Amino acid sequence: MFESAELGHKITKEVWDREVPALREALLDAQYDLAAAKFPVVILVAGVDGSGKSETVNTLNEWMDPRHIQTHGLGEPTDEERERPHMWRYWRILPPKGKIGIFDGSWYTWPIIERAYGRIKTSELDQDMGRIARFEQMLIQEGALVLKFWMHLGKEAQKKRLKGLEKDPQTRWRVTPRDWKHFEMYDTFRQVAERSLRATSTGDAPWIVVEATDPRYQRLTVGKILLERLRGRLDHPATAAPTVRALPRTSIDSLNVLKALDLTRRIEKKDYDEELLTLQGKLNLLARHRNLRKHSLVLVYEGVDAAGKGGSIRRITQSLDARRYEIHPTAAPTEEERAQPYLWRFWRNLPGRGKVAIFDRSWYGRVLVERVEGFCSEADWQRAYSEINDFESQLVRSGSILLKFWLSISQEEQLRRFEERQVTPFKRFKITEEDWRNREKWPAYESAICDMLDRTSTEIAPWTLVESENKHYGRIKILRTLVQRLEEEL
């Protein structure tokens, strides 16, 4: 993997002086076109210590218009970052469409170091790389151009570089004891890096290994490859993603998981009042459990219009300290959200430890309304299932307690509730033209819902189906599920 980067590549000053002005001009042109083309560019600059990563990043900033470049140096995570899934700190700084984001230090840094130090096993490294590959795949499918540079130095070259840096008073500071320690571990790092690069070098986002012995060679190479990839993408916009066919529905009868629900389940008002109080009391206590401070709680509410999401959410929040929860209604994305991958707006709202986030509709919009209404391509929603599963698995691994509720009512009950809402003044705001339109697409929604439940009800994040024809029954079932889950976890 690194052989071609140990050949002693060199560029003379003459070549440099001749080529740089034209390259710079072309890069600026490309950057200017990028602003109009509206896709983001993600550049990772990784590699061994002392390989001139930040110098290369500086050069790119110098050659191009730095106003449209966001450069991120990633050191230790902050406490807000530590309280959330590992990838949160990268999601929050992804470049929007039209911009270039350069990551000096990236999602590769920690897995590689952890493995080199022996703190994780090879199998865990492979898992991490699998997750990273899927994350990058998602970025690409969301339209991003992903460029990954690995700056390489052979063992002798690295030693020479570190010594050279140490000799110069101007650069001495840059060589830390850690750098020498890592140099001692050169072979281990090389092995781990090679394994990681191999696992994540894909057709769309291959690793580009650049020899770092000669700075002119290194920078000119990076600049030229960046130009080539940028230009390629600008001049030949990605053709429409190949149509992905939905898995054929093998069912030959009309039975499905929604229809199998027993919507006649109900609870009498008297029992409801009593049980509500008991469960709310328990929830109140659990919400103050000291162990909750080590977790966050994420509740996802999905259901057709008028299924009773809002009413159920209020029965939950009544037991919670208002300072601990936030409700995130999921409406049309904002301009900044539209300039990012679709999961971005959920990532930005993930709660810290000890906090509760309630999503009133959620990331499942991608495979429900966006699918049915055609707001995204079939390829987009087809890939969303696994992206969502990945997202939720990261959430859970980071210590979030995740519950997902599907509130189910019949078409007849929905009609009854719509009509009731129209005559109850303080419920009027809840019903819009759009609700009536959605209603007409009931069968399409039903397929989408069944697919969603089939593909995203996972062991770590199962769906709870809630028979909500009788509102009271639904509310109690949700509260009881939540209380049980918290009792298990805390």
Q: Report CA Rg, the chain.
A: 27
Helices (H) and strands (E) in the chain, counts: 20, 10
Give 76 or 184: the residue with its C-beta nearer to its own copies: 76
89 binds its own copies (CB under 8 A): no
CA 464 to chain centre: 23
Residue 435 interacting with its own copies (CB under 8 A): no
Neighbours of 176 (CB within 10 A): 11
Contact call for residue 274 and its own copies (CB under 8 A): no
Residue closer to its own copies, measured from CB, 131 or 219: 219
The stretch near its own copies (CB under 8 A) out of 62-70, 134-142, 147-155, 188-196 is: 62-70
The 169-208 contact track toward its own copies, x by CB under 8 A, reads -x--x-----------------------------------
DSSP 166-196: HHSTTTGGG--HHHHHHHHTHHHHHHHHHHH
Judged by beta carbon, residue 360 or residue 380, the one nearer its own copies is: 360
Identify which range of 60-68, 235-243, 459-467, 478-486 contacts its own copies by CB under 8 A. Answer: 60-68
Q: What is the DSSP string of 94-108?
A: PPPTT-EEEEES-TT
Does 105 help bind its own copies (rule: CB under 8 A)? Answer: yes
CB nearer to its own copies: pick between 338 and 437: 338
By CB under 8 A, is residue 43 in contact with its own copies?
no
Smallest gap, in angstroms, from Cβ of residue 430 to its own copies?
A: 8
**Distance from C-alpha of 15 to C-alpha of 275, rounded to nearest angstrom:** 81
Among 3, 335, 440, 459, binds its own copies (CB under 8 A): 335
Q: Which residue among 49, 104, 305, 392 contacts its own copies (CB under 8 A)? A: 104
Length of the chain: 490
What's the per-residue H, E or C state across 404-455?
EEEEECCHHHHHHHHHHHHHCHHHHHHCCHHHHHHHHCHHHHHHHHHHHHHH
Sign of dihedral through CA atoms 328, 331, 337, 340?
A: positive
Size of the site for its own copies (CB under 8 A): 60
Instruction: Note whether 230 binds its own copies by CB under 8 A.
Output: no
DSSP lists the bridge partners of residue 298 as 357, 402
Task: Give the nearer residue to its own copies in terms of CB position, either 75 or 248.
Answer: 75
DSSP structural state of residue 364 = G
Distance of closest approach, residue 330 Cβ to its own copies, in angstroms: 9
Pairing of strands 463-467, 325-329: unpaired
**Among the listed residues 250, 429, 440, 488, the single contact to its own copies using CB under 8 A:** 429
Minimum distance of its own copies from residue 171's CB (angstroms)? 9
80 binds its own copies (CB under 8 A): yes
Nearest distance in Å: CB 220, its own copies: 16
Quickly count: other Cβ atoms within 10 Å of residue 439's Cβ: 16
SS3 at position 272: helix
271-277 long-range Cβ contacts below 8 angstroms, 24+ apart: 272/472, 272/475, 272/476, 275/476, 276/315, 276/475, 276/476, 276/479
d(CA 63, CA 70): 14
360 lies in the site for its own copies, by CB under 8 A: yes
Residues of span 293-322 touching its own copies by CB under 8 A: 310, 313-314, 317-318, 321-322
Phi, psi of 162 (to 5 degrees): -65, -40
- CA separation (Å) from 84 to 193, 290, 296, 354, 389? 26, 18, 9, 11, 17
Give the span between the Cα atoms of 439 and 445, in whole angstroms: 9
Binding mask 10-39 for its own copies (x = CB under 8 A): -----------x--xxx-xx-xx-------
CA distance 391 to 84: 12
User: Is residue 73 a contact point for its own copies (CB under 8 A)?
Assistant: yes
Dihedral class, residue 54 (left if φ above 0, else alpha if ψ from -120 to 50, else beta): alpha
Instruction: For residue 259, give the amino acid letter.
Output: K
69 binds its own copies (CB under 8 A): yes
Q: Which residue stretch of 7-15, 52-60, 194-202, 444-452 sits at the interface with its own copies (rule: CB under 8 A)?
A: 52-60
Give 107 or 381: the residue with its C-beta nearer to its own copies: 107
Site for its own copies contains 284 (CB under 8 A): yes
- 216 makes contact with its own copies (CB under 8 A): no
Question: In angstroms, what is the minimal distance from the CB of 281 to its own copies?
Answer: 6
Q: Does 58 bind its own copies (CB under 8 A)?
A: yes
Q: Which stretch binds its own copies (CB under 8 A): 6-14, 71-79, 128-136, 394-402?
A: 71-79
> Rounded to an integer, what distance in angstroms lies between the CA atom of residue 244 and that of residue 490?
42
Binding mask 125-164 for its own copies (x = CB under 8 A): ----------------------------------------
Residues that bind its own copies in the complex, under the rule CB under 8 A: 21, 24-26, 28-29, 31-32, 54, 57-58, 61-62, 65-75, 78-80, 102, 104-105, 170, 173, 281, 284-285, 288, 310, 313-314, 317-318, 321-327, 329, 334-336, 352, 360, 425-430
